[in-house]
């Protein structure tokens, strides 16, 4: 089965206890080498995204790097120094997860974590390894984001903004302000409707382009949706395909809030897990062109930068 992206939760083992984490750590569960072999034989993906727990704790890490193509890893950043050789050898892209600045990061992830992640960023920069910062945004930390971007500038690193799925979505006004802020900061909001706002193709690839495999062997369309299961490791490929078809045709449908939006057929409500459709600016027919006119910007320069940002997000993890 061919895919654009394959997301693999290697294990639920982690060295942090983040307050917002949805991964069950009560009993350690990990994929076996036999599981990985089945995954490789069943799915042919262009890009592989490794999650956890903390994926750098996985005991067969180098084997995974050998088995799968174009690997990107989502990490809390605390074990970069111990894994530099492997990351360099296999040219792995690192996503460093933080919150909205030092205070919030240390409050949620643990005292001193922010400084440790910044040290890891220095190492990745020194060894010329590609990385970027992943930040979960919500109503309570929007005013803290400047600190994140100031830190990223020191490393000439990008920042990708993701919604906190455990908290209410932003209002329409705040979503549009966040979109404009991201454009001003040469960043992106990792949401399909953000790219629609920018005049680009924006869609959720769950099920159609991307599949996810959990450490408990479940196969799901989305790495953030813990409930909808389309199969398990070892299942017949045809049954998995049938379940994907049911998911796409009967479950992944535009929400009623998107009725009348010209993008609803492809965007399908953006990220349904984050419920971003509840405050989507597209419902008011707002777009990048309005942003350009209102702020009296050079349209050609803005569109060129959007093109660069779109190419970047296509090359990295989306969710």
> pLDDT (tens digit, 0 to 9) for every residue of the chain, 319 residues total?
999 999 999 999 999 989 888 776 678 999 999 999 999 999 999 999 999 999 999 999 999 999 999 999 999 999 999 999 999 999 999 999 999 999 999 999 999 999 999 999 999 999 999 999 999 999 999 999 999 999 999 999 999 999 999 999 999 999 999 999 999 999 999 999 999 999 888 888 899 999 999 999 999 999 988 889 999 999 999 999 999 999 999 998 889 999 888 888 888 888 889 998 999 999 888 889 999 999 999 999 999 988 888 888 777 765 5
Helices (H), 185-247: 192-197, 237-246
Q: Compute the distance between CA of residue 210 and CA of residue 6 in angstroms, rounded to an integer.
A: 6
Looking at CATH, the fold of the domain delimited by 2-315 is given as TIM Barrel (3.20.20)
Angle between helices 113-126 and 102-109 (to 10 degrees): 110
Q: Compute the distance between CA of residue 118 and CA of residue 115 in angstroms, rounded to an integer.
A: 5
Give the strand pairing for 2-9 and 188-189: unpaired
Structural domain boundaries of the chain?
Answer: 2-315
- Sheet containing strand 44-51, edge to edge, reads 188-189, 158-163, 131-137, 93-98, 71-75, 44-51, 2-9, 210-213, 218-220, 231-232
pLDDT of residue 19: 86
pLDDT of residue 312: 81
Tokens of 239: 């049954």
Indicate whether this model's pTM tops 0.85: yes
Q: Is 117 exposed, middle or buried (0-12, 13-18, 19+ CB in 10 A)?
A: buried
Q: Is 294 exposed, middle or buried (0-12, 13-18, 19+ CB in 10 A)?
A: exposed
pLDDT of residue 225: 87
Q: Compute the distance between CA of residue 114 and CA of residue 116 in angstroms, rounded to an integer.
A: 5
Are 147 and 102 a contacting pair, CB within 8 Å?
Answer: yes
Residues contacting 146, CB < 8 A, separation 6+: none
pLDDT of residue 269: 87
């Amino acid at each position: 089965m061919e895919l654009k992206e394959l997301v693999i939760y290697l294990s639920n083992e982690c060295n942090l206890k983040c307050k917002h984490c949805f991964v069950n750590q009560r009993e350690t569960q990990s994929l076996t080498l036999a599981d990985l072999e089945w995954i490789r034989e069943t799915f042919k993906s262009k890009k592989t995204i490794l999650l956890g727990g903390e994926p750098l704790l996985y005991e067969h890490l180098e084997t995974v790097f050998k088995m799968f193509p174009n690997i990107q890893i989502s990490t809390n950043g605390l074990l970069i120094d111990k894994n530099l050789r492997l990351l360099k050898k296999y040219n792995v892209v690192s996503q460093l997860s933080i919150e909205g600045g030092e205070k919030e990061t240390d409050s949620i992830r643990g005292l001193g974590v922010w400084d440790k992640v910044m040290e890891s960023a220095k190492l990745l920069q020194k060894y010329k390894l590609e990385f970027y910062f992943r930040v979960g945004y919500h109503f309570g930390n929007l005013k803290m984001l400047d600190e994140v971007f100031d830190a990223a500038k020191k490393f000439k690193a990008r920042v990708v903004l993701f919604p906190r799925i455990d908290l209410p979505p932003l209002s329409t006004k705040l979503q549009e302000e966040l979109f404009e802020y991201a454009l001003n900061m040469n960043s992106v909001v990792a949401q399909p409707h953000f790219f629609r706002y920018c005049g680009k193709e924006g869609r959720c690839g769950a099920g159609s382009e991307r599949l996810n495999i959990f450490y408990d062997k479940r196969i799901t369309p989305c790495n953030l949706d813990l409930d909808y299961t389309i199969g398990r490791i070892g299942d017949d490929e045809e049954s998995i395909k049938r379940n994907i078809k049911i998911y796409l045709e009967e479950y992944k449908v535009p929400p009623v809030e998107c009725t009348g939006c010209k993008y609803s057929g492809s965007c399908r409500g953006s990220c349904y897990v984050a419920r971003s459709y509840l405050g989507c600016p597209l419902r008011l027919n707002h777009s990048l062109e309005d942003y350009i006119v209102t702020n009296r910007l050079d349209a050609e320069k803005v569109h060129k930068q959007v093109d660069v940002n779109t190419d970047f997000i296509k090359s990295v993890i989306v969710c």
